[in-house]
Amino acid sequence: MKHILPKELSIPEVQRLLQGGIGPRPIALVSTISKNGANNLTPFSFFNVFGANPPVIAFSPSRRGRDGSLKDTYLNLIETKECVVNSVTYSMVEQISLASTEYEYGIDEFIKSGLTPIDSDLVKPKRVKESPFQMECRLLEIRSFGEGGASANIAICEVVKFHVAEDLFVNGVIHPDRIDLVARMSADFYCRASGDAIFEVEKPIAKKGIGYDQLPEFMKQSFVFSANNLGKFANKEKIPTEEEVNDFIQKIKTESFTEYEISEEAFNRYQRLGNYKYMLRCALDLNLSSDKKKYFLELTAKLALEKNDSDFAWKTALFSGKFN
């Protein structure tokens, strides 16, 4: 590990470090207006949501790194105390990058970037038509820390109206594939938050998982289960009893399986096909050494877990403990 005190680095080095280690950062495409009515549009990735009651978001139009001067967005916010924060999708990324150009004060980045301004309902700054998620906001306060280049000016805003494209929703929730957001990483790297980048982790809020410390030692020692697998096992509220495990195994052993084959080759094939139930039956029926039996049972439990069948996974994993 490198161990670094911020004061040992130059300001650009501190900035690069922070941008490398804190990400992916969501991007706010912020529209403001000067008191003379000139539009301004700029992306900010020092941005997030901080509460829902009332809806509060914040972003930081920092002082310019090269000379410590204040950015147009900051000046407009101080003057007119309103903005529209638009989410940034993959289809807009090159245009929002263009909007980040340091044009002179008063230059309209809607015109420069080719993005389309549309009227807001409650505030003067325009919304960005191409963005499927737009928030009309009023400034609550700006907190500044430092006065040199790259110092923070955190603009804390209340959302007073949302505009959301209807086709983003699947079962009442905005689906990541539908909104296709992009985020900022280090240097010129961005990331696209859809497709293979998306996965689900069950929230532990509604229940109280047993915790990592309560996992049986033989499971923690396994070479098959990853740290993520163990974290998921530990999210279960109650470990199945020995009786429940035995009943489960008995049921699998006596169930009739169509087109079922007993061989190590078949086990591997069932694994490739994601068929953990057939894997278990095969692992039980095969004549294997104790070590190999345990290994096959663990592979089965792992696949069941990754397919979100945690009850099956737990019972199989506990049964594998008999072959220690």
Ligand X SMILES: Cc1cc2nc3c(=O)[nH]c(=O)nc-3n(C[C@H](O)[C@H](O)[C@H](O)COP(=O)(O)O)c2cc1C
Q: How far apart are CA 172 and CA 174, in angstroms?
A: 7
The residue type found at 316 is T
CA gap 71, 68 in Å, rounded: 9
b/e map 277-312, b = 16+ CB within 10 Å: bbbbbbbbbeebeeeebbbbbbbbbbbbbeeebbeb
Note the Cα 150 to chain centre separation in Å.
Answer: 27
Report d(CA 93, CA 183) in Å as an integer.
Answer: 9
CB 87 within 8 A of CB 48: no
Min. distance of Cβ 78 from ligand X in angstroms? 12
> With respect to ligand X, which residue has the nearer C-beta, 179 or 282?
179
Least distance to ligand X, CB of residue 224, Å: 41
The distance of closest approach from Cβ of residue 48 to ligand X in the complex, given in angstroms and rounded to an integer, is 11
Q: Are the CB atoms for 249 and 222 separated by under 8 Å?
A: no
Output the smallest distance, CB 172 to ligand X, in A.
30
Cα–Cα distance, 66 to 173 (Å, whole number): 42
Q: What angle do CA 96, 79, 40 make, to 5 degrees?
A: 20
> Considering beta carbons, is residue 192 or 292 the nearer one to ligand X?
192
Q: Return the number of the residue (97 or 194) whose C-beta is nearest ligand X.
A: 97
Cβ atoms of residues 89 and 180 within 8 Å: yes
d(CA 31, CA 84): 5
100 versus 310: smaller Cβ distance to ligand X: 100
Where on the chain is the footprint of ligand X (CB under 6 A)?
A: 27, 40, 42-46, 60-62, 71-73, 97, 100, 102, 184
Question: Shortest approach of ligand X to residue 14 CB, angstroms?
Answer: 14
Check: CB of residue 61 under 8 Å from CB of residue 42.
Answer: yes
> In whole angstroms, how close is the CB of 88 to ligand X at the nearest point?
8
Min separation Cβ 152 and ligand X, Å: 9
Cβ 224 vs Cβ 296: under 8 Å: no
Residue 30 vs 301, nearer CB to ligand X: 30
Indicate the helix (H) or strand (E) that contains 48: strand 47-52
Are residues 102 and 199 in contact, defined by beta-carbon separation less than 8 angstroms?
no
Q: Toward ligand X, which CB reaches closer, 27 or 284?
A: 27
The CB-of-60 to ligand X minimum distance in angstroms stands at 5
Q: In the complex with ligand X, which residue's Cβ is closer, 128 or 313?
A: 128
Measured from the CB atom, is 11 or 230 closer to ligand X?
Answer: 11
